[in-house]
Chain A
Amino acid sequence: MTAKANGNLPPLSLHVPEPKFRPGDAVDYSHIEVPPAGAQPRPDEGCAAAETHPLCMDLVRVLGEDDAAHGPWDPRLDAETLRRMLRTMALTRAFDDRMYRGQRQGKTSFYMKCTGEEATSVAPAMALAGDDMVFPSYRQQGILIARGYPMVEMINQIYSNRADKLKGRQLPIMYSAREASFFTISGNLATQYPQAVGWAMASAIKGDTRIAATWVGEGSTAEGDFHSAMTFATVYNAPVIFNVVNNQWAISSFSGFAGAERTTFAARAIGYGMAGLRVDGNDPLAVYAATQWAANRARANGGPTLIEHFTYRAEGHSTSDDPGQYRSAQEREEWPLGDPINRLKKHLIALGEWSEDQHAAMDRELMEQVKAATKEAEKNGVLGHGLHHPFHTMFEDVFEDLPWHLKEQSEQAIRERRIKWPEWKES
């Protein structure tokens, strides 16, 4: 089919976004505006939402090039807390490295690292109360680690072994941890956004004091769920924090396919009349301060806040992805906001509260800690080595009670098992 020309009108053309750099390209990030740390005003937590809207086009930063903390957003954390933050981020990275290797060794089917984005989950987890309910996406393992959730349980889940509390039903890293106020992760994107709003509304209905926080990648802000959640949250002034982790890439699609060529993701807040902040996501102090601001606001019945964490996905989307196929390897090296662990480390050293030697010793210790947890979890088996959950559990929890049709199907499954392995006995 060819279009019909109409008089003197120019032919229309379709704009398909294209990232600035592809494999092999030299990377020049001069188009990314990085304002000086400390230059951004910090409005009162009870302010009108509109007062935050200039910050949706800005970038809240605390840690400067001089490794010092600057300006009104400095959360003024003591050295002990800063070291805990550094340690938690480093532990998250050590955990990721080990699990990635485990996947490559065939111990599980799949893994997702959060390298470079550790601050966007660890710092919020530290700024929230331990019983505030979180509705994460799939790259917030830092929350569980910050909340002290047992690492062995995380690995059991990743290995889908017989000790996996989720009974081997979920893809690796799709944790659920009610005791850590951590909602079950879905593989369907952004579904957790309206759910977090519903939880927050319920908390408000019941006169509770707990708030909800949720995370989504910038790519998934295109889902209808994102917009439904934003609408409900503003309509009911729900005590919820919306985190958009803008790590520039949704698998191979750059942020332009979610609208980043036109405006920021924080600016989505403006249309809803919601408070919004755009934060240097590789600056753990800025992320902490933004979360604290939004949490205080929500807890005082001030309503929801949207926080865009401007960061970079330093590794592939998952173990099934090879970013070398679609983006320049230089991007990671040239990223103008640095690395969150390195920045906090240098800050602590500048404060005289840390040293390179201490850091190296900590890294060795964390590696050993992860290794020990891995060995402990491996006693319960790894994926595909027979040490999975008892067979009948496959049919449990579809409903609270087992209806007749599932009972019949479970008998069929057991029969099939016996035909294939006559020696097999249900454990």
Chain B
Amino acid sequence: MIEEAPVSLADAPTRRLNMIEAINDALDIMMERDNNIVVMGEDVGYFGGVFRATAGLQKKYGKARVFDTPISECGIIGVAVGMGAYGLRPVPEIQFADYIYPGLDQLVSEAARLRYRSAGEFIAPLTVRSPFGGGIFGGQTHSQSPEALFTHVAGLKTVVPSTPHDAKGLLIAAIEDNDPVIFFEPKRIYNGPFNGYYDKPVEPWSKHADSVVPEGYYSIPLGKARIVRPGQAFTVLAYGTMVHVAAAVCAEKGVDAEIIDLRTLVPLDIETIEASVEKTGKCLIVHEATRTGGFGAELSALVQERCFYHLEAPIERVTGFDTPYPHSLEWAYFPGPVRIGEAIDRLMKA
């Protein structure tokens, strides 16, 4: 890696980018800085990806560094592990998180274990990018949020950005990280901070403060949460799309919630969580994934273990239902304003 003095973000010129543009910018900057970075995946080459995240990269960096792959997620991840062993830093794209399962063995048994089983002789510095989450009428195979399958695995890091600014800085940090990182991109907010009110128009990123993205290189450390909004009434723990949904419902209800965007699930910023819950005494956890065994269960257990004597109400956990993501009843599945609103009412009454 090229070592450079950190750029002061305050002085850097900025641009307004949507999330896709921010991700594309991060890939471009990192490929320019480090010629060991290769980008590969289904349709990512000439076409630039079905969501356009890799647009222009093949033209700029050539076909040996940005290329299409066979439709084989097992092959994509397996090949990336071998490339990492050689010394490259592969950034494979899995077109939808729902497609990642054929590559699961290569992630769980190989990428995650390489450093440990070889006592550091071989590492797997991969960053697996994958669009995830619903709200785009993708049906049950283009909508899932499988983050808990990965947070459960020793040796994997899991990152979920919620803004263009964070997407760029976190992706750069993930690519620089020497451990395998699962980088889930909430596709519902690629073009705008969707807030869960699906019957109202979504504002574009250009009207949102967090679309102001510094030019050039910067990174956001993995394992550091962001306090989106400080507050006193209760703590909200969320990530990805649900940060915006939870914030919108709190605003509508006029409650003084402290909203925390976790940004990284493993490693988790437990200090920020503890400090907030000790202050507010109440905790609302929100995720879009199915409920049972979801990452919310882990968060709830941690808050209970560490903040029990500060808690003034039962921890609230708002999630998707334990069903496949339905197509026509997508919004009935989605943990939207009504489900979150009920939980907030319970917390406020407690």
Pairwise interchain contact A195-B118, C-beta atoms closer than 8 A? no
Q: Which residue from A212, A228, A235 sits with its C-beta under 8 Å from B78?
A: A228
Interface residues on B, range: 35 or more
- Shortest CB-to-CB span from A111 to chain B, Å, is 18
Is the CB of B148 closer than 8 A to any CB of chain A? no
Q: Using A195-B79, A228-B72 as known contacts, say yes or no to A404 and B88 having CB atoms under 8 A apart.
A: no
Which A-chain residue is minimally distant from B62 (CB atoms)?
A205
Q: Which of A91-119 contact B (CB under 8 A)?
A: none
Is the CB of B216 closer than 8 A to any CB of chain A? no
Which B-chain residue is minimally distant from A175 (CB atoms)?
B118
Pairwise interchain contact B119-A201, C-beta atoms closer than 8 A? no
- Shortest CB-to-CB span from B148 to chain A, Å, is 16
Q: Which of A177, A197, A224, A228: most chain B CB closer than 10 A?
A: A228
Which A-chain residue is minimally distant from B121 (CB atoms)?
A178
Pairwise interchain contact B85-A403, C-beta atoms closer than 8 A? no
Provide the A385-400 mask, 1 if CB < 8 A to any CB of B, else 0.
Answer: 0000000000001111
Q: Which of B134-168 contact A (CB under 8 A)?
A: 154-155, 157
Q: Give bound CA distance, A201 to B270, whole Å.
A: 40
> Between A and B, how many residue pairs show CB distances below 8 Å?
147
Pairwise interchain contact B267-A225, C-beta atoms closer than 8 A? no
Q: Which residue from A170, A194, A198, A405 sits with its C-beta under 8 Å from B267?
A: A405
Q: Using A191-B109, A194-B79, A228-B75 as known contacts, say yes or no to A403 and B223 having CB atoms under 8 A apart.
A: yes
Q: Give bound CA distance, A326 to B19, whole Å.
A: 59
Provide the A193-212 mask, 1 if CB < 8 A to any CB of B, else 0.
Answer: 11111111111111000001
Pairwise interchain contact A229-B117, C-beta atoms closer than 8 A? no
Neighbouring A residues of B81 by C-beta, 8 Å: 194-195, 198
Which B-chain residue is minimally distant from A228 (CB atoms)?
B75
Q: Give bound CA distance, A123 to B93, whole Å.
A: 39
Pairwise interchain contact A224-B74, C-beta atoms closer than 8 A? yes
Neighbouring A residues of B293 by C-beta, 8 Å: none
Pairwise interchain contact B88-A202, C-beta atoms closer than 8 A? yes
Neighbouring B residues of A193 by C-beta, 8 Å: 78
Which of B63-71, B244-252, B336-344 interfaces with chain A?
B63-71
Q: Give bound CA distance, A201 to B79, whole Å.
A: 8
Is the CB of B197 closer than 8 A to any CB of chain A? no
Which of A1-9, A13-21, A32-40, A161-169 interfaces with chain B?
A161-169
Which B-chain residue is minimally distant from A214 (CB atoms)?
B82
Neighbouring A residues of B219 by C-beta, 8 Å: none
Provide the B98-122 mask, 1 if CB < 8 A to any CB of A, else 0.
Answer: 0000100110011001111111111
- Shortest CB-to-CB span from B216 to chain A, Å, is 26
- Shortest CB-to-CB span from B128 to chain A, Å, is 14
Q: Using A232-B75, A398-B154 as known contacts, say yes or no to A202 and B82 having CB atoms under 8 A apart.
A: yes
Pairwise interchain contact A197-B117, C-beta atoms closer than 8 A? no
Pairwise interchain contact A398-B115, C-beta atoms closer than 8 A? yes
Q: Which residue from B65, B84, B110, B118 sits with its C-beta under 8 Å from A176?
A: B118
Neighbouring A residues of B105 by C-beta, 8 Å: 188, 191, 225
Q: Which residue from B83, B110, B270 sits with its C-beta under 8 Å from A199?
A: B83
Pairwise interchain contact A183-B78, C-beta atoms closer than 8 A? no
Pairwise interchain contact B78-A198, C-beta atoms closer than 8 A? yes
Q: Which of B179-195 contact A (CB under 8 A)?
A: 179
Pairwise interchain contact A194-B78, C-beta atoms closer than 8 A? yes
Q: Give bound CA distance, A148 to B297, whole Å.
A: 51
Q: Give bound CA distance, A162 to B322, whole Å.
A: 47
Q: Give bound CA distance, A197 to B74, whole Å.
A: 12
Neighbouring B residues of A133 by C-beta, 8 Å: 85-86
Which A-chain residue is minimally distant from B109 (CB atoms)?
A188
Neighbouring B residues of A135 by C-beta, 8 Å: 82
Is the CB of B175 closer than 8 A to any CB of chain A? no
Is the CB of B230 closer than 8 A to any CB of chain A? no
Q: Give bound CA distance, A201 to B69, whole Å.
A: 12
Provide the B37-75 mask, 1 if CB < 8 A to any CB of A, else 0.
Answer: 010000000000000000000000000110001101011
Neighbouring B residues of A167 by C-beta, 8 Å: 119
Neighbouring A residues of B106 by C-beta, 8 Å: 191, 194, 225
Pairwise interchain contact A224-B102, C-beta atoms closer than 8 A? yes
Q: Give bound CA distance, A276 to B177, whole Å.
A: 40
Neighbouring B residues of A319 by C-beta, 8 Å: none
Pairwise interchain contact A232-B69, C-beta atoms closer than 8 A? yes
Q: Using A186-B109, A232-B72, A404-B270 as known contacts, say yes or no to A176 and B121 having CB atoms under 8 A apart.
A: yes
Besides the known contacts A194-B77, A232-B69, A232-B79, 18 further A-B residue pairs in the complex with CB atoms under 8 A apart: A169-B117, A176-B119, A184-B121, A194-B78, A196-B82, A197-B75, A202-B38, A206-B86, A225-B105, A228-B70, A231-B75, A232-B72, A398-B115, A399-B179, A403-B223, A403-B266, A404-B270, A405-B270
What 6 pairs across the A-B complex have the smallest Cβ distances? A198-B82, A194-B78, A228-B75, A198-B79, A195-B82, A202-B86
Q: List 10 A-B contacts (CB under 8 A).
A: A133-B85, A133-B86, A166-B119, A178-B122, A184-B114, A194-B81, A194-B106, A204-B64, A225-B75, A400-B115
